Copies of this chain bind each other. A is one copy, B any other.
Amino acid sequence: MAQQHLEPTDATAGAATADALAGYLRAQATEFLRALRQHRENGGAAAGGSEASVDAARALRRSARRISASLHTFRPLLDPDWSERIRPELAWLSGTLALEHAYEARLERLLLALHRLSGAMLPVQSGGAAAASRAAGAAPAGAASGNPGTPTPDRGNLTVGAAKAGALLDRQLTLARTRAHSTALQALGSSRFHAVADNIAVLASEVPLSQTAATTPLLPLAAAAEDRLNDAVTALPLVTAGHPYNAEALVHGLSPDPSPHPQDAPWHQVRLLLRLHRYAREVLHNAEIVDVRLLAAGEALDRHRDASEAAAAAAQAARTPRIAPATAYALGVLHADQRHEVEAARFAFQRAWQKETVSTP
């Protein structure tokens, strides 16, 4: 397996000390405060929110993730009480803010898949479906080739099944998204959030370092994060994943557990470790590093996670009481389709990971 290691000869990275970490954390904290201000100014309170407010929420999550990751990877350099207290709060915040977008993206993914599978436009008219219709214009030919308009009854019950499945998913995931939006609003107005924002405001000016920070080099800590990633990747079934059409992702596709497959967990874990590794490199180089290989691997794991959760949502929707058999059938096809997306994403990760490192700093 191709191993990628931090360049020990890179002077910038090798010499990185507490100053570099403090600089990075201050920059991320500043970014967090900027995004927070932007979010408030752009009507973050409106349901769905404006595009600017969505961007601001994404920027908030983005810096929260980076701060949290840096506190984790470079723990020995930071005031332990402070960093142990702030990290779960940042996780709570980015988790809460991520949910609304996750439900929206999941619905869009599932409706696009239904379009592709039924070769027809769905008669669903809500925001999610409209977004899917927009996206379908840029999708492969199969997704956009169907006739627009509602399916007529003579097109058979399975097409109607796909439409009903789409409507059901739209209802369920829109409800979940609306709830997530309310929860996020409540969170942003809570005293718990204000405490987080206060902490970040402090961080923007003064990073609470530990007493040994000045003499603790960053490189070994970043290397340890990379080792954890490599170890986790080594434990993945990459030989199977590299063999196309191994049918592994759909094994137990009809097992009674509707929650995400246990076989997905190690891949989700690698996704998180890959992110920690990426952020650690940013700290060392004091810049965003574009590494095509890591980028492709990360995108494959994002796709893996999205497809895994979409498949679970389809399975969950199929358990709705009193749905028509045609609806359930369409959800079954959709579930299997997304599980194959999971398999395809593993294949893509394996391919990306095996490639040689090509870095452009």
Please list the residues of chain A having a beta carbon within 8 angstroms of any beta carbon in chain B. Answer: 114, 116-120, 142, 155-159, 161-162, 244-245, 247-248, 250-258, 315, 318-319, 323-337, 340-341, 343-344, 347
How close is A74's CB to chain B, nearest CB, in angstroms?
Answer: 38
Q: Is the interface of A mostly helix, strand, loop or mixed?
A: helix
- When chains A and B are docked, how far (Å) is the Cα of A258 from the Cα of B327? 15
- When chains A and B are docked, how far (Å) is the Cα of A335 from the Cα of B253? 12
- When chains A and B are docked, how far (Å) is the Cα of A336 from the Cα of B334? 8
Closest B residue by C-beta to A256 = B156
Judge whether A244 and B119 touch: CB under 8 Å.
no
- When chains A and B are docked, how far (Å) is the Cα of A161 from the Cα of B251? 16
Q: Which of B142, B162, B252, B336 is within 8 Å of A336, CB to CB? A: B336
Contact flag A256-B155 (CB < 8 Å), given A244-B245, A251-B116: yes
Closest B residue by C-beta to A251 = B142
Judge whether B117 and A253 touch: CB under 8 Å.
yes
Residues of B within 8 A of A257 (CB): 156
Residues of B within 8 A of A256 (CB): 155-159
Contact flag A158-B245 (CB < 8 Å), given A325-B318, A328-B332, A332-B331: no
- When chains A and B are docked, how far (Å) is the Cα of A254 from the Cα of B323? 17
